Structure formats: structure tokens, C-alpha cells
Amino acid sequence: MAFLSVLLVIGLAVTTGFLGHSRSPWPLLGFAALALVAERQTVRLTANLQLSVAFLPLLFVAVVYGPLPAALIGAITVLPDFGRPFTRWAIWTSNRTLVGGLAGVAALQVMGPEGNSFARILAATSAAAVVDCGLDFVLNGTTLVLRGTGSIRALARTTGPVALAGIPLYTCLVGMLAYTYTAFTPWSAALFFVPALAAQRLHVILREQQEALGHLGEANASLERASLSFASALVATLDARDRYTAGHSAAVAIYSRDIAVRMGLSPEEQQLVHVCGLVHDIGKIGLPAGLLEKPGALTLEERRHMEEHSAIGERILSKVENYAEIARIVRHHHERVDGLGYPDGLVDDGIPLLARIISVADAYNAMTSDRPYRDAMPSRVARLRLAQAVESQFDTAVVAAFEAILASALEEYRAGSRQDFSFAEQEIEPQPIRAIVGLG
């Protein structure tokens, strides 16, 4: 492959000489080498799209040397990719050759016979850049569409910002260098390598940052999945002690999320309150043995122990990566707006809104569920109890939102008996949670 590259570069210089070009063909060796190096240091934008600064030497050659040398420079940049699948390599080579050649034609047409003025050269460079980028976009977009791996719109969204930011700057730079090269001395071509290599280095740094961010994202997702698995395992353990808890937690999670939707909270807050609902009773795993299983009403001392579960849950969840906000909400889901709740006696807006939502959902499902010592209340009775407790135990806006949901809901939803009201049916998406927790 190296031997073939050398032959093509020599052929490039010889061809330029046969065309009777007055300029020295030997700098083309340097531009061909620069194009090859630039093409090897690409920045991956998507799974099917890469970016390099190989267009800079190609643009310079198109303006200074014309269509055929530019076409051959385009073909040379794809040489290292020679191999299977040959069809893909042939398509890339054809695209690059065509882009380089037509960019040279555009520059030649704009330059005209009196093409040594700075204005003419800058105009020719601009025309070549437009043809280069425009044709490259059309050919790449067509290839993506035909292969079924992308769309023109997606390609425009990905490459558009990069092109709008970089092409005007590099067009002016290449134009000035081309003018210096033609008007003064070919040795000015050496000046081209500094900005080109600087641009290339910038692209390499960008690629490294993208890769680092990708690895970081994967690590964060892995940690988030581990955290969610940990919470699920705790609820499953609690379920083994008290079968009521997991079904209750799933119902509270669904009711809480629906209330958040009704109140117009963000999708991230909706997902967060859903997760908090699932783990809001996790602290019960730390209660004394026999307390959860007791068939009758609790004594005053037992109730005091039971009230510790929200603080225990906060201590458990605060040890989990990124669960600080979830832990805070779980701690306060038994607070009352009149300040008579536990564990901290918070008042009104001092209680996190999501905790106030869980409080209403928790109380409603507790009232409408069977207990060992009593039967479930009818939905209408539980809703009346909620309404009677606004401004004292519950937030008025939360109760109003929940009542609007229950008024139009089916009976199986009101009773928490719908098929999806089980812990196994709950799906948790890590990303929205991370966005909210990061604000804590």
C-alpha cells in the first residue's frame, strides 16, 4: 500500500508537469502526505460519520494546481482504506475524486485568465469550498440513505454546526495562503502546515474528549443500573417479610407519578417521584422483627418504632450513589403541612413537593387496601378523608390534582388492582433521575 501511495504521488507530480503547469509540482508531495495524515486522524461524530481536516490541503491544491491534481489528492486520502469491502472503498474513492476534481473546476472557472489578484483567488477559494462541502454533503447523505444507516436531515444536524463554524475561517486562511504562494514564493506553502496541523490537533483533542465523555457516560449508566438494582433488591427483601409492602409501593409510585403529570411537573420530576414511591418504605427493613407481621393494631411504643422507618430509609438510600435527593424525599414523606408530622416536623413549603405528593398517594392506597386488622375502605370514603385533611395533613393542590385523576378513573385504578400495579411491572429509566439528582 505504501508503494502504491508513492507511485500515485509521483504520478500526480508528473501529471501536473505534463499539463504544462508553471508552478512546481513537488510541494504536492507534502500536501499529499498532509492529506493522508489528516485523514488518519478523524473525529467520529456518529457511528457512520467521521470528520477530518483533509479538505484543507485538497482545497489549497484545487485553487493552486487545478482539477486533476485535486482529484488525485482526493483519491490518495482514501488509499489506506483499500480492502474489503471493496464496494465501500470504491464508493469513497469515487466520491473523494469527484469532489476534488469539481472543486478544482469551480476554482478554475472563477479564477479566469487574470487569476493572480487576491480578490480572484479568495473568490476561487470560496467557490471551491462551497462545491467541496456541498457535493461532499450530497454524496455522503445519498450513501447513508441508500445504505439505510442515516438520513439527510440527521446528517445536516450533525455536520451543520461544524461546517458553519469552521469553513468560513479556513476558506479565508486557505485563500490568503494560496495568494501568497502564487504571488510571491512557493516556499510560503510551508506556512500552510502550521494552521493545518493546529486544526488537525484540535480535531484530535475533540475526538479524545468525545471518547472520554462516552466512557464516562457508560460508567455513570452502569453505576445507575447498579443503584437501581440495589434498591430493587431491598424492596424484594422487604417484600419477603411483608407481602403488602411491594404491592403498596408500586401503587404509591404510579399514583405519585400520575399526580406529578397532572400538576404539570417536568418529565424528570415525574420519573423521580415514581422511583421515590417505589422505595418510600425501604426503611421498614430496619424495623424490629415481628413489627411488620403483627396482625393487630400497634401499641403506642410500636407506633413510635414504626415512625422511624422514614429516617431509616433516608440513611439507607443516602449511601447509594446519586440517591441523595431520593433519600431526602423519602425522609419527609410522612411530614404534615401543619407541622405535626415526622421525623422533622416541617411545615407547608418546607416539605419537598414530591414528598407531599407521595404523602397523599401513600395515605390513599393505605386506606383502600386490606389490612390484617381491617378491610379496605371504598374509594369514595378514602377520597373524602383526603379532602377533610387538606390544610392540616395534606397539601391542597396535591389532593385536588389526585381527586381530578380519581374522578375520571376506572374502579380498578381507584382500588390499585390494575395489572401494572405490581413492583415487577415497574420500569425505571436511569437518565432522567441523574438529571434531577445532579441538581441536589
Higher pLDDT, 300 or 208: 300
Among the residues of 148-242, which ranges form H helices? 152-183, 190-241
Ranked by mean pLDDT, which of 19-23, 147-151, 225-229 comes out on top?
147-151
- For residues 180 and 165, give the distance between their C-alpha atoms in angstroms, rounded to a whole number: 24
Q: Work out the pLDDT band at 139, boundaries 50, 70, 90.
A: confident
pLDDT score, position 180: 79
CB 358 within 8 A of CB 273: yes
User: Which letter does DSSP use for residue 288 in this model?
Assistant: P
Ranked by mean pLDDT, which of 18-32, 161-175, 179-193 comes out on top?
161-175
Which cell is 362 given? 401513600
Find the mean pLDDT for residues 199-213. Answer: 64
pLDDT score, position 438: 33
Task: Using alpha carbons only, give the angle 96, 100, 102 rounded to the nearest 5 degrees.
Answer: 115
Q: Taking 80 as the threshold, does the pLDDT of residue 369 lie above it? A: yes
Find the mean pLDDT for residues 275-285. Answer: 89
Higher pLDDT, 16 or 228: 228
pLDDT score, position 223: 59
Q: Work out the pLDDT band at 3, boundaries 50, 70, 90.
A: very low
pLDDT score, position 280: 92
Of the chain, the percentage scoring pLDDT greater than 70 comes to 67
pLDDT score, position 162: 65
Q: Which CATH number fits domain 242-437: 1.10.3210.10, 1.10.3720.10, 3.20.20.450, 3.40.50.1860?
A: 1.10.3210.10
pLDDT score, position 436: 35
Q: Work out the pLDDT band at 312, boundaries 50, 70, 90.
A: very high
CB 284 within 8 A of CB 245: yes
Per-residue model confidence as pLDDT tens digits over 372-411 = 667 889 999 999 999 999 999 999 999 999 999 999 999 9
CB 294 within 8 A of CB 302: yes
Find the mean pLDDT for residues 141-156. Answer: 75
Chain centroid to Cα 425, Å, comes to 26
Higher pLDDT, 188 or 97: 97
pLDDT score, position 405: 97
Find the mean pLDDT for residues 203-217. Answer: 65
Find the mean pLDDT for residues 12-23. Answer: 47
Find the mean pLDDT for residues 243-269. Answer: 88
Residue 39's nearest CA partner among 5, 10, 86 is: 5
- For residues 105 and 98, give the distance between their C-alpha atoms in angstroms, rounded to a whole number: 10
Higher pLDDT, 376 or 81: 376
Residue with grid cell 469532489, as numbered in its chain: 99
CB 318 within 8 A of CB 230: no
CB 292 within 8 A of CB 242: yes
- For residues 14 and 18, give the distance between their C-alpha atoms in angstroms, rounded to a whole number: 6
pLDDT score, position 417: 83
CB 354 within 8 A of CB 272: yes
Return the minimum-mean-pLDDT range out of 42-46, 123-127, 131-135, 303-307.
42-46
pLDDT score, position 57: 81
Residue 291's nearest CA partner among 333, 245, 336 is: 245
pLDDT score, position 336: 97
pLDDT score, position 219: 62
- For residues 198 and 211, give the distance between their C-alpha atoms in angstroms, rounded to a whole number: 20
Per-residue model confidence as pLDDT tens digits over 350-367 = 999 999 999 999 999 999
Chain centroid to Cα 38, Å, comes to 28
Q: Taking 70 as the threshold, does the pLDDT of residue 58 lie above it? A: yes
Higher pLDDT, 334 or 160: 334
Is the Cα torsion angle 18, 21, 24, 28 positive or negative in sign?
Answer: negative
Residue by residue, DSSP assigns 57-102 as HHHHHHHHT-HHHHHHHHHHTTGGG-SSSHHHHHHHHHHHHHHHHH
Q: How many residues does the chain have?
A: 440
Question: Residue 430: helix, strand or coil by DSSP?
Answer: helix
Q: Taking 70 as the threshold, does the pLDDT of residue 253 lie above it? A: yes
Backbone angles phi, psi at 123, to 5 degrees: -65, -40
User: Which letter does DSSP use for residue 338 in this model?
Assistant: B
pLDDT score, position 41: 62
**Class of 2-215 in CATH:** mainly alpha
pLDDT score, position 129: 85
- For residues 259 and 19, give the distance between their C-alpha atoms in angstroms, rounded to a whole number: 77
pLDDT score, position 143: 76
Active-site residue list: 284
pLDDT score, position 437: 35
Return the minimum-mean-pLDDT range out of 48-62, 210-224, 386-400.
210-224
Q: Taking 70 as the threshold, does the pLDDT of residue 272 lie above it? A: yes
Q: What is the mean pLDDT of the chain?
A: 77
Query: Hey, where are the domains in the chain?
Result: 2-215, 242-437
Strand partners, 43: 51
Q: Work out the pLDDT band at 1, boundaries 50, 70, 90.
A: very low
Which cell is 21 given? 503547469
Backbone angles phi, psi at 336, to 5 degrees: -120, 150
User: Which letter does DSSP use for residue 337 in this model?
Assistant: T
